[in-house]
Amino acid sequence: MKKLTLLSIALVAGIGAAILIIGCVTSKTVTAKSGMQLWGENCIRCHNAPSSGDYSNAQWETIGMHMKLRANLTDVETNKIVEFLKSSN
């Protein structure tokens, strides 16, 4: 009887851990989007997505702040997009 209780506790804990791990994996894939991906998904919503060579690195900083407000992006998303646009200059 005692063995059975222990076994069921272990089983429940195992399922719990599995759910926890799956949950983390899912949320990771959402936040793990690259700058390029975020740029492609967001910057074409209102106008043609500008490409890296269109503006200088300093200009991308300002545009990032401006479009962060327009596109309702988080700091993390904006930084990723700006880094992507700056890096391929």
Q: Which residues are at the interface with ligand HEC (CB under 6 A)?
A: 42-43, 45-47, 50, 63, 66-67, 70-71, 81
**Least Å from the CB of residue 30 to ligand HEC:** 17
Closer CB to ligand HEC, 63 or 86, in the complex: 63
Q: Classify burial at 80, counting beta carbons within 10 Å of its beta carbon; exposed 0-12, middle 13-18, buried 19 or more.
A: buried
Q: Which amino acid is at 33?
A: K
List all residues 6 or more positions away from 35 whose beta carbon is below 8 Å from its beta carbon: 80, 81, 82, 83, 84, 85, 87
**Least Å from the CB of residue 86 to ligand HEC:** 11
Closer CB to ligand HEC, 8 or 59, in the complex: 59
CB 53 within 8 A of CB 89: yes
**Least Å from the CB of residue 38 to ligand HEC:** 7
Closer CB to ligand HEC, 2 or 45, in the complex: 45
